Amino acid sequence: MNAIEIRNVGKSYGKIRALSGISLDVEEGEIFGLIGPDGAGKTTLFRILTTLLLADEGEASVMGFDVKKDYESIRKIIGYMPGRFSLYQDLSVEENLEFFATVFGTTVKENYGVIKDIYSQIEPFKDRRAGALSGGMKQKLALSCALVHKPSVLFLDEPTTGVDAVSRKDFWNMLSRIKASGVTVFVSTPYMDEASLCDRVALMMHGRTIDEGTPAQIVAKYPYRLLSVKGKPMYPLLKYLRGSEGVLNCFSFGSVHHLAIDGSRTDAGKILSGISEAGFTDCEVHEIDPGIEDCFMNLAGQSADNGKFMSDDGKRD
């Protein structure tokens, strides 16, 4: 049995199509990542699976329980951490944890083993109000609260959004330990670099999945050769590269540009000499292995007008 099964799920908000034809299987005991930019429909899918929202069409089940019919059973066996930090700010760390334990009909003592790893880090501050915690500590508390009733499946909706790089790393370490204890983790994130930390991922855009598989499988499917190109000034270089012979597409990745090329028409040497002659300075060109983000950009470019996507991908870092 799969932990989560989604068959052809669709959902519209009025005229806006939030999800269409989503089908996914999440195996028991894996970390499954749902990866896509804001507005891809990740949260909608989460709300359907956590029984907060009814799908317009399709079927979905969690641990064999139907999200429509058996919602009461599902609510007993899942942990959910919504994107927005939502604990009682005016209750202390300990009180929050006790509250959520009680609400799920258990006690902190009974399941202390499940949360010990994470909770022990914030336990010294257990009398502090949740509102007075730092971002990273809030996140740990929220995770403890979502885990305190020993759920079979843990739903984490963008848990690392707005969290610093060190805390993010910390958080993923915690997830792998949670997974090791036998919990299935279903996590969404807009950060492409986190995809490699999942066992399997699904890439989402505009309410559809555009690819799924292990990170290695997705990367292996990348069809082109990829170059990393550096040079100044950046923006004119991007425009220049897009117009160059043999360049299939070109996107900016922080301080470099990633260039998909047709190997029969051009190569690293040709590009380097081309941009040097055109007057760009500090030029460097290397051949690189594609990452998930390259795959995503490529697939996104195929499945939709990528101009629109490029304008709202402010969340990449």
Partner 1 sequence: MWKYLIEKEFKQFFRDPMLPRIVIVFPIIMMLVFPFAANMEVRNINLVVVDNDRTDMSSELIEKCTESGYFRLKKICSDPREAQRMMDRNTVDAILTIGQGFGKSAVTGDGFPVGIKVNTVNGTKGSIGSQYLSNCVMLFMQSRAGADVASAAGASGAVIDAAPKYYYNPYMDYKVFMVPALIVIAVTMVTGFFPALNIVGEKEAGTIEQLNVSPVSKTAFIVCKMIPYWVITFFMVGMCLLIAWLAFGYVCKGSLWGVFLFTVLHIMVTAGLGLLISNYSDNAQQAMFIMMFFVLIFMLMSGVFTPVSSMPEWARVITYANPLRYYADAMRSIFLKGSSIADVWYDAAGLLAIGGLALTWAITSYRKTS
Residues that bind partner 1 (CB under 8 A): 50-54, 71-72, 75-76, 78, 80, 82, 84-91, 95, 98-100, 102-105, 145
Closest CA to 268 of 301, 241, 238, 234: 241
DSSP 52-102: SS--SEEEEEETTEETTTTHHHHHHHEEEE-SS--S-TTSBHHHHHHHHHH
Compute the distance between CA of residue 157 and CA of residue 148 in angstroms, rounded to an integer.
18
Query: Smallest gap, in angstroms, from Cβ of residue 75 to partner 1?
Result: 5
Instruction: In angstroms, give the least distance from the CB of 53 to partner 1.
Output: 6
Identify whether the C-beta of residue 225 lies closer than 8 Å to the C-beta of residue 289. no
β-sheet bridge partners, residue 258: 228, 251
For residues 229 and 268, what is the distance between their CA atoms, to the nearest angstrom? 9
Q: What CA–CA distance (Å, rounded) separates 130 from 128?
A: 6
CA atoms within 13 A on the CB side of 125: 19
Q: Dihedral (C-alpha) 116, 117, 123, 125: value to the nearest 10 degrees?
A: -150
Nearer to partner 1, 100 or 172 (CB): 100
Quote the least distance from Cβ 85 to partner 1, whole Å: 8
3 state SS of 51: coil
Q: What stretch of H or E contains 141?
A: helix 135-147
Nearest distance in Å: CB 63, partner 1: 14
Other beta carbons within 10 Å of 164: 12
Nearer to partner 1, 184 or 266 (CB): 184
Q: How far is the CB of 150 from partner 1 (least distance, A)?
A: 14
- Min dist CB 105 to partner 1, Å, is 7
Closest approach of partner 1 to the CB of residue 227, in Å: 44
CB 250, CB 257: distance < 8 Å: yes
CB of 103 to partner 1, least distance (A): 5
Q: What does the alpha-carbon distance between residue 83 and residue 173 come to, in Å, rounded to a whole number?
A: 19
Verify cis geometry, omega within 30 degrees of 0, for the bond prior to 233.
yes
91 or 278: CB nearest partner 1? 91
For the four alpha carbons of 91, 92, 97 and 102, in that order, the dihedral sign comes to negative
Q: Output the smallest distance, CB 219 to partner 1, in A.
A: 34
Nearer to partner 1, 50 or 266 (CB): 50
Q: Closer to partner 1 by CB, 100 or 240: give it.
A: 100
Cβ-based nearer residue to partner 1, 80 or 191 = 80
Considering beta carbons, is residue 92 or 244 the nearer one to partner 1?
A: 92
Cβ-based nearer residue to partner 1, 102 or 276: 102
